[in-house]
Amino acid sequence: MKILVFGKTGQVATELQRQADVTALGRTEADLSDPEACAHIIAHTDADVIINAAAYTAVDLAEKEQPLAACINGDAPTQMAQAAAARGIPFLHVSTDYVFDGSGDQARTELAAPNPVNVYGRSKLQGEVGVASAGGPFAILRTSWVFSAHGANFVKTMLRLGRERDALGIVNNQIGGPTPAADIAAALLTLATAFHAGEGKRGIYHFTGAPDVSWEGFAREIFSQASVDVDVSGIHDSAYPTPATRPRNSRLDCTLLLQTFGIARPDWRRGLQDVLQELGELG
């Protein structure tokens, strides 16, 4: 099975390359700000499965760069999925909990109505709609709070701040499932195998780490495992304003993925241990 991955240095793309023999295209080979060029690559590929692990992920900057975010997260995957559909090649696409508004306190299923509250979320929803309407075999994997030993993420930020400061206030009224990039990559490879075998069921699926936790709880576990001595206190997100509104409820119901492909939610605390060990930060 030949897998073509869009994305090369991002967290999930990096893990895909570590776990499987894939062809990964970076920005110099495939720039998603040029959707037609990316679609052209797919139109001429000999790959059996396409995985789009590239995206515009600067959530706050997207508020100022709406056209670019819409192009990379919306137009590009739409045209890429259309090119894949024209050739009958399965197209796997990574999306986000940010397509929801974060209201309530219940885990959302794939049937819940999207209602993004920021530009980034709207651009990702645009991509979802485009991929789903392309007409080919596809799977959209919505995930959240991605972390790994590489790239910019919450774990690495907390490790840095925890050693620079004696006390930290961390948001405690946003709840979600931290998700190791390694587990996202493994899930995508399982989906790729199923679709290549003709056993994939097209649709949108949720995949996040368990158990759900606040950013404060996530930070406390990071510091505990890394043996970093820092005083952590919980704060309301109103005390930490950002250009882009964040969903307060990022809980996703991942039952459908388990029932359809046998992929269970990973324990993010075990994934965190692996990441800290790779970083040489395990206490």
Structure tokens belonging to residue 279: 């970083």
Question: What pairing do the DSSP bridges indicate for beta strands 213-214 and 175-176?
Answer: antiparallel
82 touches 128 (CB < 8 A): no
Give the pLDDT band of residue 208 (cuts 50, 70, 90): very high
The single-letter DSSP state of residue 131 is H
Please give the domain boundaries of the chain with CATH numbers for all domains. Answer: 3-152+179-208+252-267 (3.40.50.720)
Q: What is the pLDDT of residues 84-136, one digit of tens each?
A: 999 999 999 999 999 999 999 999 999 999 999 999 999 999 999 999 999 99
The letter for the amino acid at 274 is D
Cβ-based neighbours of 122, under 8 Å, separated by 6 or more: 70, 116
User: CB-side exposure of 7: number of CA atoms within 13 Å?
Assistant: 26
Containing H/E element for 41? Answer: helix 35-43
Percent of the chain scoring above 70 in pLDDT:
100
Rounded to 5 degrees, φ, ψ at 278 are -65, -35
Contact 193/262 with Cβ under 8 angstroms? no
Rounded to an integer, the average pLDDT of 202-212 is 98
pLDDT digits (tens, 9 = 90+) for 83-94: 999 999 999 999
Contacts of 231 (CB under 8 A, 6+ apart): 166, 167, 168
Quote the DSSP letter at residue 62. G
Write the DSSP string, 79-115: HHHHHHHHHT--EEEEEEGGGS---SSSPB-TTSPP-
Q: How confident is the model at residue 199 (pLDDT cuts 50, 70, 90)?
A: very high
Average pLDDT for the chain = 97
DSSP 171: E
Q: Do 74 and 132 contact (CB within 8 A), yes or no? A: no
pLDDT beyond 80 at 283: no
Q: Where are the beta strands (DSSP E) in the chain?
A: 3-6, 23-25, 49-52, 91-96, 138-143, 146-147, 167-171, 175-176, 179-180, 203-206, 213-214, 231-235
- Per the CB < 8 A criterion, the answer to whether 222 and 168 are in contact is no
Radius of gyration in angstroms for the set of CA atoms belonging to the chain, rounded to a whole number:
18
Predicted confidence at residue 148, as pLDDT, reads 98
Share of the chain above pLDDT 90, in %: 99
If pLDDT is split at 50, 70 and 90, which confidence band does 195 have? very high
User: What value does the mean pLDDT take over residues 9-35?
Assistant: 97
- pLDDT tops 90 at residue 240: no
Confidence of residue 82 (pLDDT cuts 50, 70, 90): very high
Determine the average pLDDT of the residues in 177-204. 98
| The token pair that represents 283 in the structure block | 């206490």
- Say whether 205 is catalytic: no
Which is the catalytic residue, given 56, 98, 120, 205? 120
Give the separation between CA 21 and CA 19, rounded to whole angstroms. 7
DSSP 3-state assignment of 273? helix
Residue 66 has pLDDT above 80, yes or no: yes
Among 112, 219, 234, smallest CA distance to 173 is for 234
pLDDT of residue 32: 97
Q: Three-state SS for 73? A: helix
